[in-house]
Amino acid sequence: MSDIHNNYKSVLHNIRETKKKISNFPRDFKLIAVSKTFGESVIIQLLEKGHKAFGENKVQEAEKKWMGLKKQYRNVDLHLIGPLQTNKTKKALEVFDCIHSIDREKLVKKIQNTLELDTNLKSKNHSFFVQVNTGEETQKSGINLKDTYDFVLWSKNEIKLNVIGLMCIPPVNEKPAKHFIKLKTLSDKLKLPFTSMGMTNDYLEAIEHGATHVRVGSAIFGKREVII
């Protein structure tokens, strides 16, 4: 068995063990395999195992890799987990099924305009997560915690964006738990069904705190050559 198959198996095993520990494991839990920086031949190993949900953090890289793969493998579910520049909105909507990095009014409006102008694109029924800067880090994308509630309601009710949950990336040198709790609490208050949180170092802890979508890269594909 290849390393990737072994890694994948242990991640699934770890998730199953954690599932036993918690009472409310989400019914539509999703493991997003983050394939950024890895090429098609590596990704295919997981596609061949029947895995469907993948994450990429760059629109151009994803387009290059996935336009072909999506034709070869049906029902791939591709998630944009990195920041989205407004000028790449259309491309992003073409390539991705779900976008986790909604964080400003301009982007929400641009997405909705783009979908309204293109019924074909609209029929893909994209879903969206609002990214929350739970650590209030100045350099990080994501909307401030205090602005999130109104922003989500506005995006959903006025702009009619299909917001399904909240997403966060905790600061690297802090314990992630308090950020997971903040995100989950706010998500519950907004009655959103999904929370995207947890990466290789903390996905099990995130699940214990109510994550429905975990984004796991290196635990599955191995160390990345390029740090991004």
Ligand X SMILES: *Cc1c(COP(=O)(O)O)cnc(C)c1O
Q: Give me the residues that bind ligand X (CB under 6 A), please.
A: 34, 36, 57, 81-82, 169, 199-200, 215-219
Question: Closest CB to ligand X among 176 and 210?
Answer: 176
Q: Which two tokens stand for residue 47?
A: 């596609």
Q: Which two tokens stand for residue 92?
A: 């992003």
CB of 157 vs ligand X, minimal distance in Å: 27
Read out DSSP for 203-219? HHHHHHTT-SEEEE-HH
34 strand-pairing partners: 55
CB of 123 vs ligand X, minimal distance in Å: 27
Let me know how many helices (H) and strands (E) the chain has, helices first: 10, 9
Is the Cβ–Cβ distance between 199 and 179 less than 8 Å? no
Q: Which residue is nearest to ligand X (CB)?
A: 217
CA-wise closest residue to 45 among 73, 80, 20: 73
Question: Closest CB to ligand X among 34 and 78?
Answer: 34
CB of 214 vs ligand X, minimal distance in Å: 9
Question: Closest CB to ligand X among 143 and 199?
Answer: 199
- Report residue 53 CA to chain centroid gap: 10
**Which amino acid belongs to residue 51?**
H
Three-point CA angle 104, 130, 226, nearest 5°: 90
Question: Closest CB to ligand X among 11 and 152?
Answer: 11
Question: Closest CB to ligand X among 14 and 218?
Answer: 218
CB of 63 vs ligand X, minimal distance in Å: 17
CB of 23 vs ligand X, minimal distance in Å: 26
